[in-house]
Amino acid sequence: MPELKNRNGIDYFENVDFKQIVAYSGNPNIVCGECLENLLFENDLILIPILNEVYCNKCGTKRLRDMKHYSEDDEVQARRTKFWNDYLIKGKISNY
Ligand SMILES: [Zn+2]
């Protein structure tokens, strides 16, 4: 089950199952936004709303460690986090 977390001001979801991303994107060949590895059958993906990107657990963890928080991004982040929270956790597609 995906969980919404925050690290240094950056929202992220962990434990995202590949099936949810495939179902959302309609693309059966999803890849990590960093290493481009195929993410099929992974269930510990990391999704970072402000980047609108999904990563394998290893790259997502590293990415979160390297990212800086910019308060100018807070509004966009809040909107994207709500969108992904509605989809990943509540199971519905909301308006962007
Ligand atoms: Zn990766």
pLDDT tens, 51-74?
Answer: 999 999 999 999 999 999 999 999
User: What pLDDT is recorded for position 80?
Assistant: 97
Within a domain: residue 94? no
Within a domain: residue 95? no
CB 3 within 8 A of CB 17: no
By residue range, what is the domain housing residue 11? 3-88
User: What pLDDT is recorded for position 95?
Assistant: 66
The CATH number given to whatever domain includes residue 44 is 3.30.60
Within a domain: residue 49? yes
Mapped to the 3 state alphabet, what secondary structure does 44-65 carry? CEEEEHHHCEEECHHHHHHHHH
CB under 5 Å of ion ligand 1: residues: 32, 34-35, 56, 59
Within a domain: residue 93? no
Output Rg (C-alpha) for the chain, integer angstroms: 13
User: What pLDDT is recorded for position 49?
Assistant: 98
In the chain, the number of structural domains is 1
Residue ranges, the chain, pLDDT below 50: none
User: What pLDDT is recorded for position 38?
Assistant: 97
Within a domain: residue 96? no
- pTM recorded for the entire structure: 0.94
> CA-to-CA distance for 38 and 27, rounded, in angstroms?
12
Residue 39 Cα to ligand 1 midpoint, Å, equals: 8
How many separate helices (H) and strands (E) can be counted in the chain?
3, 4
> CA-to-CA distance for 3 and 45, rounded, in angstroms?
11
Residue 44 Cα to ligand 1 midpoint, Å, equals: 12
Within a domain: residue 57? yes
